[in-house]
Structure 1
Amino acid sequence: METVLLLLCLIAIVGLHRRNSGFASRIDKLEQRVRALSAPVEPGPAPVSSAPDIREEAAPPLAPPPEVTATDETQERLAPSVVPPVALPPASPLPASSPRPSRGFEENLGSRWAVWVGGVALALGGIFLVRYSIEQGLIGPGVRVLLGLAFAAGLIAGGEWLRRREQPLDVAAFGNANIPAILTAAGTSTAFASIYAAYGLYGLIGPTLAFVALGLVAAVTMGAAILHGPALAGLGLVAALVCPLLVQTTDPSPVALVLYLAFATGTSYAVSRLRLWRWLAVSTAVGAILWGFGLLVGGDAWLAALVTHVLVQLVLALLFLVVDPHRTEAPEEAVIDRLATVPVFFFAILAVFATASFGTGLERPLFIAAVVLLMTVSACRYPAGAGGALAGGLASVGMLAIWPVVSQAWSEPERFVRDLAVSPAPEALTSFVTAAVLVGAIVPLLSLLRLGFGHRLRMGPAAWYTAALTLTPLGVLIVAYWRVTYFDHSIPFAVVAGAMGLGFAAATAWLRGKDPDLDSPAIRLAVGGAASAAIAALAAGLTFAFDRGILTVTLALAALGTAYVAERVKVPALRWMVGALGIAVAGRFAWDPSIMRGEIGTTPIVNWLLWGYGVPAAAFLLASRILAREGRDWVVRFVESLGFVFAALLVFLQMRHALNGGDPFAPTTSHMEAGLAVTQALAFSLLMVRLDLSRPDTLYRYASLLFGGLAILGSAVVLGVFENPFLGGGRVIGGPVFNSLIPAYLVPAAMAAALAWAARLNRPRAFVLAAAALALILELTYSSLAVRRLFHPGGRIDLFRSMSDAELWCHSLVLLANGLVLLAIGILWRLREARLAALVCLVLAVLKVFLVDLSALQGLTRALSFVGLGLALMAIGFVYQRFVAPSGAARPPDPAP
């Protein structure tokens, strides 16, 4: 193996040598050409020109210009200026100013990569020396720390000496491969590790001395980064954050780790502030967040360290990302700072997970209040970080949602998740309610005050404040209602929701008083949001007051109220809020399509389905009509489609409720139920076609195609195969004539024919023909099954039962009758498709008579079958000759294209 590696190395070295030799020869040729081009030009004899010398020969006389009267100033400006000839010096060689050739692989490897790898190796070498001495027991802890500090001091001194030397290195030629900066970064990393080991591993120094020592190293790092540039700052931050992972101990100290992280990140923030390196501040916040998630796995022993880390790092991030960069910024000029907003949201997520680690007591609500207050106060003071207000609101909602169940936290995560799904009742109910009240009031109140006194805010910060004002209390109310009652009937929560609605109404009036004419876009947006939240809270109260309150109904009513407010106050942003509520309803429906829980009731139509599906359907349809007054955009189409979906579900579930004894979710089905479902799909397709005729829209076009496709699929799969009584799909219910075959096959056939008739005006021909073919197939299926039901009184008409001669003859008669009826329709209404369908029936009748009746029938029935067929064909021929053929002959030919 070693031999192979040596051969590979020799081959690589030879290849690199040959490649470098080629590069060297090409560079020599280029240098020769540059020297030749830059050589001085020897003066020679002037070339003899045959052109006349304009200085010796006079030009031909020109015609005198017309006299122009001008002022003295104009004459002076227009007078020709005589420029004396300037003698040019002899040509002198110019220095070649060709651009520096690009560095090749060898130069990059030797001058750039080697420096970086060497700096990283020095930093890791200092840390691993400490680790090796620990494992081998070579020297005592004090000597180890002193050697580490000495090594760090040597690296820092070497970097500073190289920076101050009389002939400085040409570091600009190598970009960011700055040797003094990297040496200094390696030294500071080693110093951080040594001091942390002296305090956290060996206990050689106390907290006070550790604080002072880390402060000194932080000061050295800060000063060195200011002198050496961003390379030192980046490497120093990475080394400082990775050091606790490399230097391990069997008895870690959480307090020491949090203190160390605070000094490391604080130093990095200070450097970023002094040099205005925003990337360094954001990177520091990311490192602190990652360390916070790492502390989550420490268990109860690390709880205090986790809480301290979250609060300290949140304060530092807010100071250096929000407060300091925007402290002199005017509120009316502030725009959303995304680099500051994103880390705050991640701190909110970290705080949510940290909440589940608490035990019983007041510590949890106090921690929640502290986090939410810090985020909201900084966001309201500095509009550029307005996203922090919504981050605080979402953190409060998430903390209440993940509140432990019956003393189960991270120690038993499987049981925690199982209990949360089965019974979400929170432990320490008093603390839970206290936290809900605190966080439910802090964020909206501060956001409301900021909006009320911020008339000139831009739309970006105003939108964040409005979202925090409305979404936070509503989210807290819904989560608390779920955790305490599990979506059950609750009069106290209904009262709370009503009080919240009144509070939002008062906030709307207060905001409107600040700007009665709504000239300020920020106030107009806030008024619309507060009014929508008031309607949503009142709708939630109504839902809580009923026995089986459902979130879907609340959100649908809130969407209707928001649409009304948006149309009245003319706030375009509220249209998007209606769409957001619709998305929430769609997500809720995708999570649990049944929506209703418990007993629905046995009374047809007037039951809980009418509330759970009818109210959202009416709310979304009315909301779409209100929003359509300002134009039909995607929000209108989406909300209207939700209304149609709930309307279709209402009809379908009411039908199943009536057919299954009050259980719309029964696992059984029948051919009558399948036929009614197909009828419903065809009816909705017909409705979309009619709506598209009055108000053409892509929503109606695609909806009609969707419902039509569902009807065809249901007819082919369910009615044609699985629930077909002839193929064993069940018993026909009812008498010989009026039975379940009528709603299962005849009614859908009539609806499909109506759809084909209406769709001929604005739908593709293929769609019209498909609907007409479906109508014909369903009608022929009904006729055949109805004839079979006449001859089998028990309702069982499957194919395993015998077929008499009379039944077989009646099938032929029915085919002929269908053909004659379709022919009459085609002639009277001049429908060629109906006449073609009649011919199809006649062809089927002929095939049936000659292939089946000829062999299966005997005696009189066989004769009657052929006689009837012959008479029918003769009559059809006469009708075609009398009514169809002449009209076709007299019809003028189609115009030429």
Structure 2
Amino acid sequence: MEVFVGLLGFGLLVVGAVAIVAFSMASRAQAQVRQLEALVQRLTASELPPTEPANTESVEPARDDLVPEKKKKVVDWEGLIGVRLFAWLGGIALFVGLAFFLRYSIQENLIAPPLRVGLGGIVGAVALFGGAYLRSKADRAGQAISGSGVAILYASLYAARTLYDLLPVSVTFAGMALVTVAAGLLAVRKDAPMLAILGLLGGFMTPFLLSAGDDRPVALFVYVALLDAGILAVAIRRQWPGLALLGLGSTTAVYSAWAYQFLDAARVPYALMAAAILASVFAIPRWRETEKGTQRDLVRATAVLASAIPFVLVLILSGTNVLRASPFLLVGYLAVLEAGAWFTTTRAAFTPMLPIASGLTAVILAVRASEDLFPSQRGLVLAAFALLPLLETGAWYLRRDKADGPALRLSAAIALAGSILIVGRVLSVEVHAGGPAPILELALYAFAHAAGLATIGVVLGSGAGLLGAQALAVATLLLLFGVESREVARGHWPLIVASMLAFWAIPFTIRPAQRDRLARLSGGVALVLHFPIFYGLLHGAWGDGPLGAAALVCAGLALASGMHGFALLFVTAAIPIWFDNEWLTAVWAFEALALAGWHARKSHAGLLAGSVLLAATVMVRLLANPAVWEYHARNGTPIFNWELYTFGLPALALLLAPRWLRTSDVARSLKLPAVYAGAGIALLFVLLNVEIADFHSTGTTVSFHLSQGGFRQDMTYSLGWGLFALGLLAVGIARDSRALRIGSLIVSSLTAAKVTLHDLWALGSLYRVASFVGLAFALLAVSFFMQRYVLRSAK
């Protein structure tokens, strides 16, 4: 029953391959016929004598019955089915029939083993050479018979060695090599792709059909290697890349079937070696240059797949208990595979092969980092795993100016960055085992790989490598400190400082990095990326004083390397560490003032943007932050209380800023002097109202009653607004400030409206009349003073 299932599977496989090849050959034949017809038509047209131009008046209209009809494409189904398909099926039937006979003779012991092998050899040889002779009369049938003869000869030789032990290994494989050579020579000489394909399929199915269930890997793999060599010889000679691709697929199927049934930990080294050798058979050969795009793509696909299949095999085995090989053996094997990938890249001109191989290697090493290696052999295994990125980086450096330099650079970068996978895997294994996280060892391992990425960036003078190295280092630190408790992780804070200082110093001290703007920027980025980790780890243990000082140290480092923007960022960050509540807002307001003055001297757009951003933050914190009223409890002291400096100091800073902003063309074009002055006036106006509310409040909180606080409180607000407006008008006239005068007009209008429409309106009808009269006189007075003292002086 097992043999029947095997034969049935073999038959289905051959029928599928037959159908594909037959359809391809039929399509090619039809295309050749069409090309010949077109050539004959061109030659016939070129031999016709030129015709005299006819009188256009006597030309008769064309008749529909004289227009030749387009020939319809007709598929020769009789030839396709009756000749090609039946020929293939006949060859398959011949081979299967002999296989059944051989199986039956074994079960019934009808024929002695030597005679069985001899009859099989005779029948196979007659079929092989007889089919070649019959090709002159029936090409397809002859190819089918020759193909079945090849399969029969393979089966006979394999049975003679494996089943009956009649022939030594050397003689058996010499015979198989002779059959392979004979089939290949006939296929090449007679241009018979059917013979080549049938020989291929028969050769690969022979171990399955005649297997006795025992494991003989050396004989199997040597047999497959010889078969592959013959297939490639024929494929290269006749330029049949599809045959080579079919051979690679068949080899993979045979190897996978053996591995599924017999592979164990003891056989892993030999199995890996066999996989590399079989893959190299298809990856190494050089094909002749061809102009056909399809053939060129098939050649490239064969080489690429041959290089990638061993990686996939190791990746699959790494996730099982089978692959428990030495880490150095695994690293050495992966180094050989990566060398093969480089060879494929140069031979097949497929540059993505190297990065793909590097990425697969990183994943394989991460999967292999299992509990049998960690933590017992942590140092040794990490050292072994670091060898591959080191070799790839060295290979790139030696060939950085060659054509494959970019591919080698990307491959080395992927290998170095892949260390984060290994770090994460080791952490998972050791923490799951209940032990402490090896923070120091894994950090040093990751920093070594980050140094490799930084080296690439320095050699190229590119900031991309430096930023990639920083990303690897920062990701590793976050991963390491994220799995341990904060108390344990705090003892490793020097790792953060060392990483930060190293990446800050590289573009500052190494000349090649100084020529690239992105590389110089990476120094400031290093400070920005590492400081939050440092602060988050030590916050609550060191206190605000040392951490604020650390922020200022980072600001000094940024300033020393010429990165003023980053220095400003750290100064701004140190303020909320040292200060809180209203003092934070006040210091940010004066920092905005300082940046405005700095911009007046340096004319740097970043300084102006920082000043505007800080000023906007101050306004939001004071005017749109309900938590302001929870900073302190009301103490009952009028005027000289915490509200005075909370709103007064930021207002003072914003009112002083226009003095420097007026000297900047950019600031004037954006109307920033008027904006800052308006913001300061708004804060003073809010402060006035807060002080009035505080004066009329009771208890520990400030209560605002602008409309229902009683006549006394309402008039206090109105009086304050009026005095505020007069003060603005006076200062505006004295300093010739249009912004202040406009602010005075706005506040005066609000005051007059409040007094007239709210305060006096509530007193009665006579007071209402007086209120409107008073409003009229107030408006007229403002108009008079504006015209008399402002507009006239302007003229």
Does TM, normalized by the shorter one, top 0.5? yes
Change in 2 beyond 3 A, CA 1:650/1:148? farther
How far has the Cα of 1:391 moved from its partner?
Answer: 6.4
Conserved 8 A contact 1:684-1:704: yes
Which residue of 1 is the match for residue 437 of structure 2?
424
Conserved 8 A contact 1:600-1:608: yes
SS of the residue 1:356 aligns to = coil
Does residue 212 of the first structure (1) align with residue 222 of the second (2)?
Answer: yes
Which residue of 2 is the match for residue 66 of structure 1?
none
Write the mapping of 1:878-889 to structure 2, written as runs, cut at 5 A.
878-888=784-794
Change in 2 beyond 3 A, CA 1:576/1:461? closer
Which residue of 1 is the match for residue 745 of structure 2?
839
How far has the Cα of 1:816 moved from its partner?
Answer: 0.9
Does residue 653 of the first structure (1) align with residue 577 of the second (2)?
Answer: yes
Which residue of 2 is the match for residue 699 of structure 1?
606
**Matched AA of 2:222:** V
Write the mapping of 1:109-508 to structure 2, written as runs, cut at 5 A.
150=151, 160=184, 163-164=187-188, 166=190, 168=191, 188=200, 195=207, 203-227=213-237, 228-238=239-249, 240-241=251-252, 253=264, 259=270, 262-275=273-286, 281-298=303-320, 301-304=321-324, 310-311=330-331, 313-322=333-342, 340=354, 343-360=357-374, 363=377, 365-373=379-387, 375-377=389-391, 380=394, 383-384=398-399, 387=409, 399=422, 402-404=425-427, 407=430, 415=432, 424-425=437-438
Quote the Cα distance in structure 1 between the aligned partners of 2:522 and 2:153.
57
How far has the Cα of 1:790 moved from its partner?
Answer: 1.1
Does residue 744 of the first structure (1) align with residue 646 of the second (2)?
Answer: yes
Change in 2 beyond 3 A, CA 1:294/1:828? farther
Further displaced range: 833-842 or 875-884? 875-884
Q: Deviations over 1:404-448 (max 9, x none)?
A: 46755xxxxxx57xx79xx5247xxxxx96x9999999999x999
**Matched AA of 1:616:** C
Conserved 8 A contact 1:373-1:392: no
Which residue of 1 is the match for residue 506 of structure 2?
562
Does residue 783 of the first structure (1) align with residue 704 of the second (2)?
Answer: no
Quote the Cα distance in structure 2 between the aligned partners of 1:596 and 1:589.
11
| Aligned-pair Cα RMSD in Å | 6.0
Is there any run of 5+ residues in structure 1 with no aligned partner, and where? Answer: 1-22, 45-103, 134-138, 170-178, 328-335, 409-414, 427-431, 452-456, 491-543, 626-638, 657-672, 891-897
Q: Deviations over 1:778-836 (max 9, x none)?
A: 22211111111112253422347962322211111111111112112221222212111
Change in 2 beyond 3 A, CA 1:653/1:837? same
Conserved 8 A contact 1:685-1:705: yes
Change in 2 beyond 3 A, CA 1:193/1:578? farther
Q: Deviations over 1:202-222 (max 9, x none)?
A: 752323323423433343344
How far has the Cα of 1:273 moved from its partner?
Answer: 2.4
Further displaced range: 610-619 or 872-881? 872-881
Change in 2 beyond 3 A, CA 1:619/1:272? same
How far has the Cα of 1:619 moved from its partner?
Answer: 1.4
Change in 2 beyond 3 A, CA 1:621/1:247? same
**Matched AA of 1:717:** A
Quote the Cα distance in structure 2 between the aligned partners of 1:105 and 1:260.
52
Question: Which of 798, 804, 823 pairs up with 2:710?
Answer: 804
SS of the residue 2:47 aligns to = coil
Change in 2 beyond 3 A, CA 1:685/1:151? farther
Conserved 8 A contact 2:721-2:748: yes
Conserved 8 A contact 2:752-2:778: no
Write the mapping of 1:36-51 to structure 2, written as runs, cut at 5 A.
37-41=45-49
Quote the Cα distance in structure 1 between the aligned partners of 2:446 and 2:305.
29
Conserved 8 A contact 1:610-1:650: yes
Conserved 8 A contact 1:149-1:190: yes
* % identity of equivalent residues: 18
Change in 2 beyond 3 A, CA 1:704/1:753? same
Question: Which of 553, 556, 560 pairs up with 1:618?
Answer: 556
Which residue of 2 is the match for residue 717 of structure 1?
624
TM-score calculated relative to the size of structure 1? 0.56
Conserved 8 A contact 1:812-1:848: yes
SS of the residue 2:639 aligns to = coil
Conserved 8 A contact 1:296-1:306: no
How far has the Cα of 1:840 moved from its partner?
Answer: 0.3
Does residue 815 of the first structure (1) align with residue 739 of the second (2)?
Answer: no
Does residue 600 of the first structure (1) align with residue 557 of the second (2)?
Answer: no
Write the mapping of 1:630-649 to structure 2, written as runs, cut at 5 A.
639-649=563-573
How far has the Cα of 1:379 moved from its partner?
Answer: 5.1
Q: Deviations over 1:534-574 (max 9, x none)?
A: xxxxxxxxxx9xx78365544443355334424xx465368
Quote the Cα distance in structure 1 between the aligned partners of 2:228 and 2:763.
107
SS of the residue 1:219 aligns to = helix
Change in 2 beyond 3 A, CA 1:473/1:853? closer
How far has the Cα of 1:275 moved from its partner?
Answer: 0.9
Change in 2 beyond 3 A, CA 1:484/1:785? closer
Q: Deviations over 1:575-623 (max 9, x none)?
A: 6555345445444467787353332337xxxx12224422222212322
Change in 2 beyond 3 A, CA 1:302/1:401? same
How far has the Cα of 1:459 moved from its partner?
Answer: 8.5
Quote the Cα distance in structure 1 between the aligned partners of 2:674 and 2:78.
77
Quote the Cα distance in structure 2 between the aligned partners of 1:305 and 1:189.
34
Q: Deviations over 1:37-74 (max 9, x none)?
A: 42343799xxxxxxxxxxxxxxxxxxxxxxxxxxxxxx
Write the mapping of 1:885-896 to structure 2, written as runs, cut at 5 A.
885-888=791-794, 890=795
Conserved 8 A contact 1:197-1:247: no
Q: Deviations over 1:303-340 (max 9, x none)?
A: 4169698436413224324589999xxxxxxxx98754
SS of the residue 1:205 aligns to = coil
- Determine which structure has the larger helix proportion and give its number: 2
Change in 2 beyond 3 A, CA 1:729/1:575? closer
Quote the Cα distance in structure 2 between the aligned partners of 1:305 and 1:581.
43
**Matched AA of 1:269:** S
Conserved 8 A contact 2:244-2:302: yes
Question: Which of 572, 581, 587 pairs up with 2:514?
Answer: 572
Which residue of 2 is the match for residue 19 of structure 1?
none
SS of the residue 1:403 aligns to = helix
Conserved 8 A contact 2:555-2:567: yes
Quote the Cα distance in structure 2 between the aligned partners of 1:682 and 1:793.
31
Change in 2 beyond 3 A, CA 1:266/1:584? farther
Quote the Cα distance in structure 2 between the aligned partners of 1:838 and 1:397.
64
Quote the Cα distance in structure 2 between the aligned partners of 1:813 and 1:882.
25
**Matched AA of 1:274:** P
Change in 2 beyond 3 A, CA 1:864/1:556? farther
